Structure 1
Amino acid sequence: MSALPQFPADRLIARADQVGSAASFVCAVHCASFPVLLALLPALGVSFLASELLERSFVLFATVLALSSLIAGYRRHGSLKALQVLVPGLALIWFGSFGPLHHDLIPHAVLMTVGGVLVAVSHLRNQRLSRRHVHGPACAH
């Protein structure tokens, strides 16, 4: 049985979700281990990884990647299930990065970790929904 042809946009959405979920999990691990890393970074000579600018830049990148990937996925499969996980994940990440708890080490790490995991799960959910959807006569778009 031959596989159904995959459109270039479908491959792009799938690749964006793969990159997004991997990056979000790495972010979550980074945030969870941040209190320990904060003490070790200067000794390792990589203290720039604790930079506020780097963190906020990554939050902006993750937001743009997630929104574009999940909105494109929604247009393809028509399900809000992935976006329902993404929105609280992004809210936690934005609150953790730009909110009043940003400089409180443990609350910041918790917010960023939980938010990163939710963003990663939303990418995985979007990937699964996109794989299940098949363009054909019953397709409504």
Structure 2
Amino acid sequence: MLDRIGITATSLCALHCILLPVILPALPLLGLSFLADHTWEHVFLIITGVLGSIAMFSGFKRYHKKLYPFYLLIVGLVVYWMKHDFSEQAEPFFIIIGATLIVAAHVINLKLCNSCKRCADHTCSS
């Protein structure tokens, strides 16, 4: 379940970052100008990282004993976090790469958990 939440959260965060320049002028009119603040973005990314870490650790400990989904998550979070260190033109590429790595980590973790022996025997919960 945490992997599905992580995939959704990461996808929403990426959409937020990519669409922000388009909707930025309308945010104050809607009372949502706080969404344009980098602090909001970093808080959301930290929450995504915490949820992702819990999901990866849970899958590792309970089912598959593989660390590479966690590594993908960390690299994705670092790439996403660093996007402000580069030009505005490069930011969308960092968003797409970071979000793709984070989503891939969750998808791989989910597949590894679902392919474990206990899950194949239908003795564990999804």
Q: TM-score interval w.r.t. the shorter chain? A: 0.7 to 0.9
What is the CA–CA distance in structure 2 between the aligned matches of 1:29 and 1:113, rounded to whole Å? 10
Deviations 1:77-131 (A, max 9, x none): 02234234223211112212xx533xx4333333233212221221111111101
RMSD over equivalenced CA pairs, Å:
2.1
Residues 103-114 of structure 1 mapped to structure 2, 5 A cutoff? 104-114=87-97
Report the Cα distance in structure 2 between the residues aligned to 1:117 and 1:25, rounded to whole angstroms: 9
* Greater Rg over alpha carbons, structure: 1
Counterpart position of 1:133: 116
* C-alpha separation in 2, matches of 1:86 and 1:60: 12
Q: TM-score, normalised by structure 2?
A: 0.79
1:65 is aligned to 51
Structure 1: give runs of 5+ residues left out of the alignment: 1-14, 137-141
Number of residue equivalences:
118
What SS does structure 2 have at the residue aligned with 1:31? helix
Give the alignment of 1:1-141 within 5 angstroms: 15-75=1-61, 76-96=63-83, 100-101=85-86, 104-135=87-118
Tell me: higher relative CO, structure 1 or 2? Use CA pairs within 8 A at least 6 residues apart: 1
Identity, % of aligned pairs? 29
> Are residues 42 and 107 of structure 1, via their aligned partners in 2, closer, same or farther at CA, if it must alter by over 3 Å?
farther
Structure 2: 5+ residue runs without aligned partners?
120-126
Superposed displacement of residue 26, structure 1? 1.1
Task: Report the TM-score when normalising by structure 1.
Answer: 0.72
Q: CA deviation at 1:44?
A: 3.1
Matched residue type, 1:127: L
